[in-house]
Amino acid sequence: MARDTQTQLRNEMIYSVFVRNYSEAGNFAGVTADLQRIKDLGTDILWLLPINPIGEVNRKGTLGSPYAIKDYRGINPEYGTLADFKALTDRAHELGMKVMLDIVYNHTSPDSVLATEHPEWFYHDADGQLTNKVGDWSDVKDLDYGHHELWQYQIDTLLYWSQFVDGYRCDVAPLVPLDFWLEARKQVNAKYPETLWLAESAGSGFIEELRSQGYTGLSDSELYQAFDMTYDYDVFGDFKDYWQGRSTVERYVDLLQRQDATFPGNYVKMRFLENHDNARMMSLMHSKAEAVNNLTWIFMQRGIPLIYNGQEFLAEHQPSLFDRDTMVADRHGDVTPLIQKLVTIKQLPLLRAADYQLAVVEEGIVKITYRAAGEALTAWIPLKGQVTAVATKLAAGSYQNLLTDGPTEVVDGKLTVDGQPVLIKYVTNTAVTKVADQSN
């Protein structure tokens, strides 16, 4: 783990925005106009998908992928000017949010500034043409970090953007050498010491494929040497397998608990149910109630939760990365009050406690417990809306459910989970943080 990573990140929330599709305007001003709402949702870190000009050669769709970058140091003119971007970041900072910029250092568009000026910095096929290491990414060509001259160009680019933003989400970080990321963090943090680093890490299958072909494929454990946060892809597939009936919740929770022993003590995982690369959570969930339960789940896990624009409105359509596909009208509900409540709970210092335990109890309900300094918080979460009574060692009485602020009864060592999460904070030695003692 990066030694100076702060576990306070476990008390924060990321909100992700694709500028093109965020508003009808499809530009920086359209995002800036809505920043107060984003802040009011509970956002600490605003993550912007790439804002750079997009290549034209081999472009996918009408407007192209924001991940096929033409100029690392430029602004996509469709979004506005540098002044418009600065107005966005300035307003976000005024509201107390940090801004994280998406950078794409594995590849560029075939007609990028670097491909034109420094073609020697790329991989080439047998015919000498620019190519990719792996994958069918037809709209990009891969950079070759064996050319050390490339490193300082990329780091200088980060130093340039750091005058406006507070951190970086690093696209396909496992494909770029660890030594580069270490040097980039060293130089950037020397000038901007609180810079945030999020790696788009990968699942084991992708890492194995890369390594089998002789390419760099960094594991989460390697990435944590340079990054503050990594993706949850090492277990996200198991979560989907559980939801789709291909695996058990016990296997999934066991893998989650193993994270806590596998990674450094100050590790931070980004927990999510959806993002710009994956289907909306409502493709897995079948009701607002299930969405409520699973949003509670990602907030209560150890790590930093991600909300992708539209998720707060239970959006169902996965917007295109290649064309205008405005998300404004894709609203099928509103869980803003729930997210705001979860943010309040997430901010409790107890949720970065060292003592963190996961278990599966009656009827497949997931139980999470944090303990520190004589107090504890336990959450029982029925991911699929289970209704049952669970065993508990809490003293008989009435406790406050932090999620609803209503009472929850413990009777004869049993607590009822009625299809919704129950979150109780209590003193560990006496368990007497009751809103009323029904036993008297």
pLDDT value of position 440: 29
pLDDT (mean) for 262-276? 95
For residue 160, with 0-12 CB atoms within 10 Å meaning exposed, 13-18 middle and 19 or more buried, which class applies? Answer: exposed
pLDDT (mean) for 246-273? 95
Question: Could you say which of 3.30.70.1560, 3.40.640.10, 3.40.50.920, 3.20.20.80 is the CATH number of the domain covering 7-347?
Answer: 3.20.20.80
pLDDT value of position 150: 98
pLDDT value of position 30: 97
pLDDT value of position 327: 80
Cα pseudo-dihedral 21, 26, 31, 32, rounded to 10: 180
Considering the entire predicted model, what is its pTM? 0.95
pLDDT value of position 255: 95
Share of the chain above pLDDT 70, in %: 97
Distance CA 423, CA 348 (A): 13
Taking only the tens place, the pLDDT of each residue in 338-357 is: 999 999 999 999 999 999 99
SS3 per residue for 345-361: HHCCHHHHCCEEEEEEC
Domain segments of the chain as ranges: 7-347, 356-427
Confidence of residue 310 (pLDDT cuts 50, 70, 90): very high
pLDDT of 1 strictly over 90: no
Topology agreement, domain 7-347 and domain 356-427: no
Question: Could you say which of 3.40.366.10, 2.60.40.1180, 3.50.50.60, 3.40.50.360 is the CATH number of the domain covering 356-427?
Answer: 2.60.40.1180
pLDDT (mean) for 67-77? 98
pLDDT value of position 65: 97
pLDDT of 433 strictly over 80: no
CB atoms within 10 A of CB 246: 10
pLDDT value of position 286: 87
Report the SS3 class of residue 22.
helix
